Structure 1
Amino acid sequence: MLLKARAYFTYEIIYPTHIIALLSPRIDVNDQVITRNLDITPSTEIDFYFDVYGNECHRFLLEVGRVEITSTCEVEVHDTIEKNFEAAYIPIEFLPSELFQYLLPSRYCFSDTFEIRNLASQIVAGLPNGYAQVEAIRTWVHQNISYQYGFSLVTTHSNHILKDKVGVCRDFAHLAIALCRSLNIPSRIVVGFAKDLPFADLHAWFECYVGDHWYIFDAVQAETTPGRIVLAYGRDASDVAFITQYGSSLMVGMHVEVTG
């Protein structure tokens, strides 16, 4: 499946502001990245580096005034979502060491609280350990959390979402990740472009490691669908912000489109 994606941001820069952007498709996980471009108007020098998760980060300085940032890409992606209810839980002693970071509580995923542990145990009761548990958690979050803008804040974490029962895609992912980690299932957030969403925005979902493989899950959707361009992986949203600013700026416009 060939997807074409575009994310367009407009900023008013109050004083010179350094930006870190995660807006480029990962070459190592998408089927084939045909084109990818990051354009800034007025133009400025762009540097890049790879963070500890292998995400390609672009850094640049924006001068005072109105600035437009546009990321475009054409990517061949999977046209199916791999599902495997036979994928078993991997005991801790057999997990690759680099996955341990995805078992720990993190800034937005409070996997070690009583509320999260207790709920996870209730959701997966009677299910075989592994993929079936994760899918049950994904389904529970989808059915019990309402998708609405304007409720969650930069400080909102998984226990807030569990209490308030409302949030956006990153909140759905954070709650599901916390529940899965409480069962010692490695879980990470994924951000990128997704096709056929009921809203035009950059999207967040999650992946879990069972059966020696990372599987895709999306708690926002009734059923996880294909048509996804991966931009970045991390423990939670603090690792995968699309744009991080070090200075004073105001975003005055954003538009996202995905076709294919």
Structure 2
Amino acid sequence: MQLDAGCELSFDAQGPTPLLLMLRPRSGAGQWVVREEYQINPSVIVTEFTDLYGNLCQRLVAPEGPFSIRFMATVQTADTIDVAPGAPYTPVEQLPDDVLHFTLPSRYCQADQLGQLAADITAGVEPGYDQAEAIRRWIHENVTYQYGTSNASTSAVDTAASRVGVCRDFTHLGISLCRSLNIPARMVVGYLYQLDPMDLHAWFEAFVDGRWYTFDATQEKPRGNRITVAYGRDAADVAFTTQFGPMSLENMHVWVNAAGTDNGDEKNTDEVTTFSASVGSNNQTDSEL
């Protein structure tokens, strides 16, 4: 399916503020970027680089005062995601070098503290894909999705205790539980068609049987029509915006529509908690990376 997706961010900078953005998807497995458009007001110099995970990142300095970014893309997406019940566990010694570090604990994913919970959830389940699916299903059934119940510092251990959160929290918990079983897992952020409520979204991928598979604990069943923007160990690697100074997010709109239709699915941040409570934005002024 071909989708039109994008977001519009409005800021107020109290002074010149360096920004790191991660808004551009790349063509790759399951998606092809047909066209894209970047609008920045007021216009500033932007440079781009590719990070350690292959994500497209943009650097700029926002001037003092109102500042807005609007990104739009048309992307051909896969209508379904691959599922593989019974796919076997890949032994650690057989993992590719660039996958091995996704078995380790990270800032928001304390896999070393959740081993017993993972063992309880997957008791009697065949190692591999079925374990990752059991984890996804357990989170979907036992963790309540609710805005305003977590923040940019909430970790997987916090979510395991509170049993409440948003997509970022569901994802961190799924990643941590998989890693505690030595299943590599990584965070994915992007867009999901007909997400309800519409917002920027996060899910996780687990590496079994020699490849990555998609798992989304916020959804009851596997769903395609996703646009991946970035991959990383956890939210610290995949924030859509990272600011290095005093700057406030005033407003945000997100939309995902069938190509050629209007942006009726836009979401205004006045109706949700904050951008950081969604997929997440890093703020060098307020929080430590």
TM-score (norm 2): 0.88
Pick from 161, 166, 169 the counterpart of residue 164 of structure 2: 166
Distance 1:215 1:258 in 2: 23
Match of residue 91 from structure 1: 91
Shift of 1:28: 2.9
Verify: 1:68 aligned to 2:36, yes or no. Answer: no
**Which is worse superposed, 25-34 or 74-83?**
25-34
Shift of 1:30: 4.4
**Which is worse superposed, 24-33 or 164-173?**
24-33
Equivalent residues in 2 for 1:179-198, closer than 5 Å: 179-198=177-196
Shift of 1:172: 0.2
Q: Is the 8 A contact 1:35 1:75 kept in 2?
A: yes
Match of residue 221 from structure 1: 219
Q: Is the 8 A contact 1:8 1:254 kept in 2?
A: yes
Shift of 1:36: 1.6
Distance 1:99 1:120 in 2: 20
Distance 1:219 1:24 in 2: 24
Partner amino acid for 1:36? Answer: E
SS state at 1:15 partner? coil
Q: Is the 8 A contact 1:108 1:237 kept in 2?
A: yes
Structure 1 unaligned spans of 5+: none
Q: Is the 8 A contact 1:25 1:36 kept in 2?
A: no
Distance 1:93 1:34 in 2: 39
Distance 1:202 1:59 in 2: 21
Distance 1:117 1:238 in 2: 22
Equivalent residues in 2 for 1:208-247, closer than 5 Å: 208-247=206-245
Shift of 1:29: 3.3
How well do the aligned residues superpose, as a CA RMSD in angstroms? Answer: 0.9
Identity over the aligned pairs, expressed in percent?
44
Match of residue 122 from structure 1: 120
Q: Is the 8 A contact 1:30 1:75 kept in 2?
A: no
Partner amino acid for 1:89? Answer: Y
Partner amino acid for 1:211? Answer: D
Match of residue 105 from structure 1: 105
Distance 1:49 1:182 in 2: 32
TM-score (norm 1): 0.97
Shift of 1:124: 0.9
Distance 2:70 2:141 in 1: 35
Shift of 1:224: 2.4
Distance 1:31 1:119 in 2: 35
SS state at 1:149 partner? coil
Distance 2:86 2:136 in 1: 17
| Structure 1 residues 73-124: Cα deviation after superposition (integer angstroms, max 9, x where no partner) | 00001111100013110011111111111000000001001xx111111111
Distance 2:6 2:155 in 1: 29
Equivalent pairs counted in the alignment come to 258
Match of residue 3 from structure 1: 3
Verify: 1:251 aligned to 2:246, yes or no. Answer: no
SS state at 1:163 partner? helix
Q: Is the 8 A contact 1:9 1:70 kept in 2?
A: yes
Structure possessing the higher relative contact order (Cα contacts under 8 Å, 6 or more residues apart): 1
Distance 1:4 1:216 in 2: 22
Q: Is the 8 A contact 2:80 2:222 kept in 1?
A: no
Partner amino acid for 1:148? Answer: Q
| Structure 1 residues 172-222: Cα deviation after superposition (integer angstroms, max 9, x where no partner) | 000010000000000000000111111121000000000111000100111
Distance 2:67 2:135 in 1: 41
Q: Is the 8 A contact 1:200 1:255 kept in 2?
A: no
Q: Is the 8 A contact 2:5 2:257 kept in 1?
A: yes
Distance 2:187 2:222 in 1: 15
Partner amino acid for 2:38? Answer: L
Q: Is the 8 A contact 2:10 2:250 kept in 1?
A: yes
SS state at 1:112 partner? helix
Pick from 199, 203, 206 the counterpart of residue 205 of structure 1: 203
Verify: 1:82 aligned to 2:86, yes or no. Answer: no
Q: Is the 8 A contact 1:29 1:230 kept in 2?
A: no
Match of residue 57 from structure 1: 57
